[in-house]
Amino acid sequence: MSKGRSRRKARAWNEIYSAAPWYTTSQDSGEDMILRIWTPAGVDPRARKVVHRGGGGRRYKFSSQKAGRMIHCDSSLEFDHCNLLEVDPLVSAYCEQPMQIHFRLNGEVHFHIPDSLAYRGDRALVIECKYQAEAEEPQIAARTELLSRCLPKLGLDYRLVTEEAMRQPRLQNARDVRYFGRAPLDTIARDHILTIVDSGTPVTWGGAITGQLGQRGREALCRMVRDGYLWFDIDGDLLPSTPFVRRTRELSWTF
């Protein structure tokens, strides 16, 4: 993309979405570097509208409890990764299409709107989803290297994730946990299940379905996985014999 075309596109996005400067470099040396970062200043938290009238191509959306609104995704790969972010207990919040990053690469000015911004503790992670074949393209690889090197200086980490991160059966497990674990769990029910787990009694997926933990045992297990109290082998098929145990360390769906 030419410098003039990139600037015109960036200006158009800024006018439409009321973007506000979050960072602007004070010393432009002419080297490859991040020049500025714009974040949405209006009600819409997205830097780019994904779902709109007349938009071509397929779009994806779902209701997010973490975001408290509908999440809009440009591709099935982004949608799959948002499913993982939604159930990951290490991720306190996330947003799709969160910012515009303006940068110079090989002497040309570009701007990039990453797919997600996820918060883990006191760190913020900027995420871009690409298929492995795309990730290996020279332009994408060079951009990934530049942003991975420069964004941490601004307090932001950068990660490019491929379809390997959304492999099966992990992805289907995340969908099941998100679906069945929608309802909050009260403290009494949660502590009761933890007591059973701590007693050494095997707590399994099949047992939860057949009433081991009460009428809505399956839903309770999934909610406790979402909230970070329990864990299971997320890379194995979710079978009746699958055991659920206390989550004793920082296990994650995405990190």
Domain extent listing, the chain: 3-165, 182-246
18: pLDDT confidence band, cut at 50, 70 and 90?
Answer: very low
- What is the predicted pLDDT for the residue at 13? 39
Instruction: State the pTM of this model.
Output: 0.84
Q: In this prediction, what percent of the chain has a pLDDT beyond 70?
A: 88
Residue 232 in contact with residue 238, Cβ under 8 Å? yes
Calpha distance 67→189 (Å, rounded): 25
Task: Number of helices (H) and strands (E) in the chain: give both, helices first.
Answer: 8, 12
Determine which helix (DSSP H) or strand (DSSP E) holds 21, and give its type and residue range.
strand 19-24
B/e letters for 29-68, b = 16+ CB within 10 Å, e = fewer, are: eeebbbebbbbbeeeeebbbebeeeeeeeeebeeebebbe
10: pLDDT confidence band, cut at 50, 70 and 90?
Answer: very low
pLDDT at 148 over 50: yes
- Determine the average pLDDT of the residues in 177-185: 96
| Tens digit of each residue's pLDDT (9 = 90 or more) over 87-127 | 999 999 999 999 999 999 999 999 999 999 999 988 899 99
Query: Which residues are within 8 A (CB) of 40 and not within 5 positions of it... i.e. 6 or more apart?
Result: 17, 18, 19, 20, 46, 47, 98, 99
- Determine the average pLDDT of the residues in 208-223: 95
Calpha distance 204→187 (Å, rounded): 21
Calpha distance 44→18 (Å, rounded): 9
Burial class (CB in 10 A: 0-12, 13-18, 19+), 199: exposed
Residue type, 255: F
| Tens digit of each residue's pLDDT (9 = 90 or more) over 21-80 | 677 887 778 899 999 998 887 667 787 777 655 555 677 888 999 999 999 998 999 999
Mean pLDDT over each residue of the chain, to the nearest integer = 88
Tokens 């909610």 found at: 223
- Determine the average pLDDT of the residues in 150-179: 94
CATH class of 182-246: mainly alpha
Residue 193 in contact with residue 213, Cβ under 8 Å? yes
CATH number for region 3-165: 3.40.1350.10
pLDDT at 240 over 70: yes
How remote is the C-alpha of 170 from its chain's centroid?
A: 15
Calpha distance 31→40 (Å, rounded): 27
> Maximum distance among all alpha carbons in the chain?
67
Calpha distance 165→77 (Å, rounded): 10
Integer angstrom CA distances of residue 33 from 11, 146, 151, 195: 20, 7, 10, 53
- What is the predicted pLDDT for the residue at 15? 43
- What is the predicted pLDDT for the residue at 133? 96
The closest alpha carbon to 131, from 197, 209, 202, 78, belongs to 78
Beta bridge partners of 95: 117
- What is the predicted pLDDT for the residue at 161? 95
| First-residue to last-residue Cα distance in the chain | 33
Calpha distance 125→144 (Å, rounded): 13
With H, G, I as helix, E, B as strand and everything else as coil, classify residue 255: coil
- What is the predicted pLDDT for the residue at 16? 38
* 199 vs 23, higher pLDDT: 199
